[in-house]
Structure formats: C-alpha cells, structure tokens
Structure 1
Amino acid sequence: MNIVCNVLALLIVFGAIYLSYSTKILKDPEVDHPLYGKIEMYSFARTQGLWWTTLIGACFVIGFGANGEVINLNATCLVLLSIGVGTTAIGGIIDTPKDDDNATDGVIPQNIFKKRIPHFFRDILSDSTGITVYRYQALIFNLIFSIVFLVEFLENISNSKMEFPVFEKETLGLMGISAATYLGMKANEK
C-alpha cells in the first residue's frame, strides 16, 4: 500500500509539472497586442494555486500510504489551500478584460517587454516594468512555507505521528499578507 501511494503521489507531482508545460493551466488569458500579436504569460496566481494543491494532495496520499488511514486536513492545510486557490481566483478576476479595455489605448499588458518569448520565472516575477519586489517576496514566502510544510510533514510521518504540520495563526497571517500584497499590487499593474 505504501509503495502504491508513494507512486501515486509522484504521479500527482509529475502530472502537475507535465500539465504546467504542455497546457495553458498556468498561463494568463492570451492578450492580442497590435504590435506584438498574441502574447501569453505564465501566471503567478495560477502557479500558487496549483503549487499548494499539488503539495498538499501529494502529502495526503503519502500519509494514507504510511498507515492505511486518511489523515484529516487541519486548519493549516485549509488556510494554505484557501490562500492558493483564492489568489488564483482573484488574480483571474483582475486579469479578466473588461468591455472598455482596448490593447490600443496605451495600456501595456503585463510583461509585454519580453514580447513573445515565454519564460516561467521571468513571467511570474514581472509586471510591465520588470521584476518586482512584491512578486519576488510572494515567491520566497511560498517556497519557504512549502519547504517547512514538507519537512515537518515527512518528520511527522517518519515518527508515526499521522498529522499535517500546524502553523501558528501569525505565521499563516504572514502568508495571507503576502498574497494580499501581491493581489493589491497586481490590481494596479494595468
């Protein structure tokens, strides 16, 4: 059972990676610019949503394989998933073109400076002016939280403590502030 679940967890991770590069799952809606044609960029918001879904989903399956019982998702998991999915949803709303939006009205779409060459890290870290501190900060916090979450989860499993890590509410608040800052600044990018 443990081997099957570990393989399934790997399939979840590799499936997310495969979908990220072979589909538009992580890309913002295509922008039709009069000078550069159709432009498509990777989305930080979508990446964050897929990241937390994949990480917690893979850990959930690994936990089930370790003892044959479902490990309940705790408040930490739910808050991290909510931040990831909420950032994806609100980011999508911000990126939805309005009827009065027009590519020729002088508004420069996000990341237009790179023209048509998609580059994952450049896309998720940049707005129309280039790489920004608030996007970099959000990426760093997501990476740090992910590493801590995964290490604590694996330590719990190896010590037969079948539970997800618990982050203090202040720590989760920091993650929420990071996501809110990203979304607030994103709303002002256009």
Structure 2
Amino acid sequence: VQRFSLTDSLGESTKYLTLGDRIRMTVSHLEKLTGDTSGTLPKKSDLVLYVADYPMEQIRPLAIARSSEDSSLSVLTFELIRTEETMKDWKMFYTMPRDYTHMVKFSVGMKDGSAVAENEGHEIEVVFIRKGIYRFALAGLLFIIISLFILARRSSIIKDNCLLPTQQKPFSLAKTQLAWWTGIIISCYIFIWAVTGARVPITESTLALLSIGITTSVGAKVIDVSQEKKHRPQASPSSGFIIDILSDDNGVSIHRFQMVVWNLVMGVGFVISMAINYAMPEFDNTLLALMGVSNGAYLGLKIPENPKHSGMGEGKQQPPAPVVAPPPPVEAPPPPPPAPQTPPPPPADG
C-alpha cells in the first residue's frame, strides 16, 4: 500500500475516519495478490478490507481502477459501513479499551486471507466514538428518563382506565411493561446513532421484545373490557406504583412478581449489551420464549383477578361492611295531663 486519501460522507477530504466515510488506497502490483501474471485486476468480490490486520469480510471495494499516473498502481475505494452484514466485523473494535479514537492500519487482501498487501507502517486515526456527541447523548438520555418519569406521574400513560381522577388512578403492569421496552429501545437506538454515526439495524430480538410488550398490553385490555360489569380492583384508588403493579385482589401475586423480575433482568441486560457493543442486542431464542411464557402466565392468571362481587384496590383486602347500629326505639309521647275538673255549681236557694 503506497498511500491513502480520506473523504467523509459528503465527499470532502478529512484527516480522520468515522463510520460512513470512504478510504481510497493506492496499491502497487495488486494483481500479485491473486497470482495472475497477465496483469488483470482482481474482481471486487475477491477482495476485502483489512483493518488492524483483521479481515472485514463484508466490506468489499466499491471500485478498482488503474492509476492514471502509473500503470503498476491500482486505486481501490472502500466505504466504512456498519450494517447488519458488517456488524460482526466491527464488533471487536467496539469492545476494545474505551478510547474514543484508535490509530489503525488499513490494507487490502484476499477474502480467504491467503494474501494481503503490505502496509508500510501507515496508520490512520479512526473515530469509533464521537467524544463531544457522546456526552451530549448521555445528557439527552438523562433528559428523556426524567421526562418519562414526570409524564408517568402526572398523566394516565401507564395507568389503568377508570373514572377516578388522574392522580388517583392505579398503575397498570401491562402498560408499564410496554412503556419500559419502548423507552429502552428508542433510547438505545438514538444513543448508538448519535455516538457512532451509524444507524444500526434493529435485531430480531428487539422486535420480539417490543412485540411481547404490545401483545401483553392488548391482551390485558381485552380482559379488562370483557369484565367491565365486574367491580375490578383497578377501579380503586392507587396504593403506590410498586403495590399497584405487583398486587391483585389478594395482595402481591407471584405471576405479577415474576413478570416484573424478568422484565427488569432483560431490560438491564439489554442496556449493558448495548453499552459494550454499541449495537442493538441479540438474545437467545430460548430466553425470548421464556419472556413469552412469563407474559402468558400473567394474562392467564389475570382473568380470575377480578371478583364477581364488590371489588377493592390492588393489594388490599376488602374491608368489612360497616355495622350500622339500629335506630333507637321511638318512645311514645307522655299522655297529656288530665283536664282540671270544674266543681259543680252550688244548688240554687229555694
């Protein structure tokens, strides 16, 4: 490799590379990589980009051409892209020690690694994490979290539908789960895009987790609508966020508890995986199936939660009906005093 030229995504020259930029390298006697003595240039499909001596198997040259200055020189153009196909190739560079930039050696070679063009010590600065935007993105995430918290407290976005005032409505477990995964997925995607400059693909696991949350929320709504004639526990004033989402008619219930725990575990794992790899996580299918079973158990056991008679707030036993004392007996009014007797008139004289 004789020399390099770098251009950004807009075609302007740059002194360092980020994802989306292009690198143009000039290589002497490129045909020797294939062992072709006829002077024919290799096919683009036979060559891959080498970054730090690591073959980027899915990054092929965009163009190969002879140099106009010297027929023994060939010019190759590569684009540093991070797509679903190239995600595996870039993973190792995002799990390296957390420097924002790295000095990296670039080269070109056969995709099977049988021959690689020598790089005479040329290293290029590559910005894997944009420092200024990284801090701005962290501040933005903090703002989103605080905003969601305030919205959840002051609105009905994660509360059950009932006739109570907004501040008294109990919190809904199904809506909370949907808001949990929506917030995590959107925040992680925007963070990765802002920090790396690459719009990473949405993985199947991400889609599955959001689908589970939506399906559970819809199922819970259907159950509640079908039992509108019953006095549902959700129609009673809130007992606090934790009590509301963990409790049914009889107090804290195991099917709600296990659902909350699994969502916490998966959510924390999702964020940690994103922070390590700067990519949307991919979970094992068995783990996703376990999440589905957990949510299915919640929906199945939610059906008998609502009592047939009078209901009460979640996590509270029904208070006994107040005993109404019988009214005191009404006493008959005392009889009126006897009328004074008028003495008879004296007898008349003869």
TM-score, normalization by structure 2: 0.46
1:80-123 CA-partner distances (Å, limit 9, x unpaired): 1111122112212222256xx43xxxx442257xx534310100
Q: Distance in 2 between matches of 1:154 and 1:186?
A: 35
Alignment of 1:1-190 (within 5 A): 1-30=133-162, 40-96=169-225, 101-102=228-229, 107-110=230-233, 116-157=237-278, 163-190=279-306
What's the offset of the Cα at 1:16?
1.6
1:150-170 CA-partner distances (Å, limit 9, x unpaired): 11110112xxxxx21111100
Q: Distance in 2 between matches of 1:117 and 1:140?
A: 21
What's the offset of the Cα at 1:71?
1.3
The residue type equivalent to 2:296 in the other structure is A
Structure with more helix by fraction? 1
Identity over aligned pairs, percent: 29
Q: Distance in 1 between matches of 2:248 and 2:231?
A: 10
Q: Which runs of 4+ in 1 moved over 4 A?
A: none
Distance 1:117 1:41, change over 3 A: closer
1:136-183 CA-partner distances (Å, limit 9, x unpaired): 0000000011111111110112xxxxx211111000000010011111
Q: Distance in 1 between matches of 2:190 and 2:138?
A: 7
Q: Distance in 2 between matches of 1:116 and 1:110?
A: 9
What's the offset of the Cα at 1:50?
0.1
Q: Unaligned stretches of 5+ in structure 1?
A: 33-38, 158-162
Does the CA-based 8 Å contact 2:202-2:280 persist in structure 1?
yes
Q: Distance in 1 between matches of 2:238 and 2:289?
A: 36
Distance 1:31 1:189, change over 3 A: farther
Structure of greater Rg: 2
Q: Distance in 2 between matches of 1:31 and 1:188?
A: 22
Aligned residues: 172
What's the offset of the Cα at 1:31?
5.1
What secondary structure does 1:150 align onto? Answer: helix
Does the CA-based 8 Å contact 1:8-1:61 persist in structure 2?
no
Question: Which has the bigger relative contact order, CA under 8 A and spacing at least 6?
Answer: 1
The residue type equivalent to 2:288 in the other structure is L
The residue type equivalent to 1:40 in the other structure is K
Does the CA-based 8 Å contact 2:238-2:244 persist in structure 1?
no
Does the CA-based 8 Å contact 2:160-2:234 persist in structure 1?
no
